[in-house]
Chains A and B, each alone.
Chain A
Amino acid sequence: MGINADIDHNIVTDARTEGLLFRGFEKMLEGRNPFDAVYFTQRICGICSTAHSIASSMALEEALGIAVSQQGRYLRDIIHGCEFLQNHIRHFYQFTVPDFIRLPEGNALFETDHHDFRLPKQRNDRITRHYFDSLQYSRSAHEMLAILGGKAPHNHGIFPGGVTAPAAPEKVAGMRSLLLNIRRFICDQMIPDAYTIADYYKEYFEIGQGYGNFLTFGCFNGYEKLGTLYVDPLESGSGRITKLDPGEITENVYSSWYTAKSETDTPYQAVPEPDRKKSGAYSWVKAPRYRGLPYEVGPLARMWLCGQYRHGISSMDRTLARVLEARKIADILLVLLENVIPGVCIQKEYEVPQSARGAGLIDTTRGALGHWIKIENRVLSLYQIITPSAWNLSTRGPDNLPGPGEKAMIGTKIRNSDAPVELGRIIRSFDPCVSCATHVYSNGNFVKTIQVMP
C-alpha cells in the first residue's frame, strides 16, 4: 500500500491510504462448491488465514442451518486464539519494534534510513534480544494451532460444525504446555517491552488519534456455559457503547478502482467489477461504513468496548492494547482448554441446499471480519468479504470523510519531513494486513518512500 500525504509547514494537511495490490477473491468464489470456500478464502492472507476459515464456516453454517456444538466452538476458538497469539507476537516484534529499536548493524535486514532511536543502549539491547527470542514463541503459537488445525498457515481443522478432528487428551496437554510458555513470554517480555518503548516515545500518545469510533463483531463470546470471555458485538459511534446491528453495514466504491451499478451497497448486493482506470479512484480498498460512518476496528477497539483498556486513543495506545490483548487471549485459551472434552466427534455429512444465504461475522486479530454468501443451484452465487483492514484503511465516500487510517494521520506534526517516520508508525499501529510499500508525497512532490509491513 502507499500513503499519499500533503505536508505543509511540517503538518500533515491531507492523507490518502492506497491499497495497491488487487486479489479478486470475491469474483473467483462465484460458481464454486460452497465447502471449498473454507480453504479457499484462507489464501486471502498468510498471517490471518484462520480468521477467514472461521468467518467462512460461520456463513456456511447459517446458510445450511448447521448447529455448532459447544465443544465444536471451544475447539474452533482455541485454533483462532492461537492465531491471535502468533499474529500479535509477530506484529509487535517483527513490525513495531524495528520502528523504535535500533537492531544489530551489519545485517542488511536491519538497516534503516532514520535515526529516531531513543532507548539507552542497555534497554535497546534487551528488546533486541527479545526480537530474536520472539521468533520461537510466534512459531510455537503456530505449532499449537497445527496440533488442532493440521497445519499453519492455511489450516484444515476449522470447518462448518466446529472442527474436523476430535481432540485427543495428549493434544490438549501438549497445547497447554506450549501455551504456558507463550504466556510467560507475553507477560515477562512483550508487555514490559511495549511499556518501555512507550516511555521513550510519549508523544505517540497524542499522535494518530483518529475518529474514536469503535466497532466489533465480538469474539470468544456467548458460550452456553462460559458466557462471554471477551467481547460481544458492540459499537461506540454515538459516543456511548451500544449493541451492534449488522444490518447497518454498507460498503461504497466511490474512491476505489471498481465500477458498480450502485456505488453504495449492502453486503448481500452485487460485488463490483475491478476497473484500474476509474478516474478519481486511488485504491483497491473499498469503504465499509456503519450507519454511513467510518469506524476503527482492532485490539484497541475491542479492549475499549469491553472496558478493559481506557487509557486513550492513539498510535501508542493501539500498540499497548495489542500486547495486553495477547495476555487476555492466552488466559481465555487456558479456560477453553480446561473445558474441552477429549474425543468428541463433531462432524456430520452435510447437504447443500438449492438456494440459501448466510453471514459469518467475527472479530479477529485485526478487527471485524465479515463474509456474506449466497448459494444458487447448490454453488456459491455471491461472496462478499469485508476485512478489518478495509475498515481501517478505507477510502473516502461521496461525503469525502477520510478513512480511519487517513484521519489518524491528518494533523500530525512531522519532525523531519525528509524522514517522516511518524506516518509509518501511525499506519503500523493499525497492523495493516497489506503487504506493500508506502509512498509519502508532499504537496504532490515526491519526498520519500516509506514501507508499511503487513
Chain B
Amino acid sequence: MLHAILHEIETASQPITLHSLSRKLNVQPGALEGMIQFWVRKGRLVVDEGLGGASEIRVCGGRTCFRACPGPAKCPLVSDPLTTYTLKHS
C-alpha cells in the first residue's frame, strides 16, 4: 500500500492528483493523506505548500527592503497555492 504510492508517482508520465491516486489504489482520500504524511516524515516525499506560509513578500536590494506584495492573502493567485509532493530519489 505505502510502496504502491511511491510506485504510482514514479511511473506516472505526468503529475497525478491525490484524488486520482486514491481512486486508483482504492484507498479513502483521508487514509491516503495519512500514508503520504508517513512518506513525508520518512523524507521520501517532499511537501511544498508554495507561498502559503509566507506572511508577506519583501523584496530586498542592497540594504533596502520594501514590501512588494502585502502577503499571500492580498497577492493575486498566491492565497490558494497548490500543495505538491515531489518524490525524492534515495
Does A pair with B? no
Residues of B within 8 A of A (CB): none
